[in-house]
Amino acid sequence: MNTLCLERLLWLAIDPRADDEEPHAIEDFVYHRPVLQREVLGLLKPKPGFLIVDGTCGGGGHTEALLQSGADVLALDQDPDAVQHVSERLAHFGRRLIVRQANFRHAASVLDEREELTRLFRELGEEPAARRIASLIVKMRRTSPFRETLPLARAIEKLVGRHGRHHPATQVFQALRMEVNDELGALEEGLRVLTARLAPRGRIAVITFHSLEDRIVKNFFRDHSREWLDKPEWPEPQRNPDYDLELVTPKPVEPSDEEQRANPRSRSAKLRVAEKI
């Protein structure tokens, strides 16, 4: 039994006998009694909010007990029959269970596929239900990939419900758009090429609507407006080779209350301006 604990992510139930045994008939799984189940539960202490990876789900005995404790489970097995059996037998746990045919040596990439989406929705979309939405997408696209926006919007609405004026999928679509278009990469490059082409005393003004975009502009302007660079390990400060701007707005300019009232979309806007030296 190997148990790898990464924050709230627990990997368990790698049955040391699994590699030595003859392949199981599916009937065996049905009657398979999970070994050391009470001990596993006592030691991993699964509860709602945990994601547990069962690296060898087999007949799904451990997986079932973990689900019953309220944890979510990503169940892996290299045997397609086991995957089909567990998917069907434990289907009533709904979205809390994801079953994948995979060798547990590839567990990281199976997780990354899901976690990559979670990161995207959380960071680019600032979406509170990022993890649940990522799990739903990974699960649904296994049977039929999303080719249009409407089925995805409907699935998200069904999962998180409708609150407020905006459609619940708005943040997710924002994140996907930013990623697909590499909008943050484009912003960095645009700042670089346009600043290089500015005439002396020419000004560059950038309005952003997202905190990550604003951070890119803030850092770019900061990195280009410091004449000298210093580090504790350097004997003396050095001239900054990127120094070519002066800050016109040390702090971002935000829309007035009046503008925000008249145009609610302006609420997240931030304007920063710099001048070429």
Ligand X SMILES: C[S@@+](CC[C@H](N)C(=O)[O-])C[C@H]1O[C@@H](n2cnc3c(N)ncnc32)[C@H](O)[C@@H]1O
Note the helical H segments in the chain: 26-31, 37-44, 61-68, 80-89, 107-119, 130-143, 149-160, 170-180, 183-197, 211-225, 257-262
Closest CB to ligand X among 73 and 216? 73
Q: What is the total residue count of the chain? A: 277
Q: Are strands 9-12 and 4-6 parallel, antiparallel or unpaired?
A: antiparallel
Q: Does 46 bind ligand X (CB under 6 A)?
A: no
| Of residues 83 and 269, the one with the C-beta less far from ligand X | 83
Binder of ligand X out of 10, 41, 74, 76 (CB under 6 A)? 76
Nearer to ligand X, 60 or 255 (CB): 60
Interaction with ligand X in 15-34: which residues (CB under 6 A)? 15, 18-19, 29, 32, 34
Q: Residue 270 interacts with ligand X (CB under 6 A)? A: no
Instruction: With CB under 6 A as the rule, give the number of residues binding ligand X.
Output: 22
Per-position x/- string for 86-125, each x denoting binding to ligand X as judged by CB under 6 A, each - no binding: -----------------xx---------------------
* DSSP code per residue over 182-251: THHHHHHHHHHHHHHHPPTT-EEEEEESSHHHHHHHHHHHHHHH-SEE--TTSSS-EE-TT--EEES-SS
The binding site for ligand X (CB under 6 A) comprises 13, 15, 18-19, 29, 32, 34, 55-62, 76-79, 82, 103-104
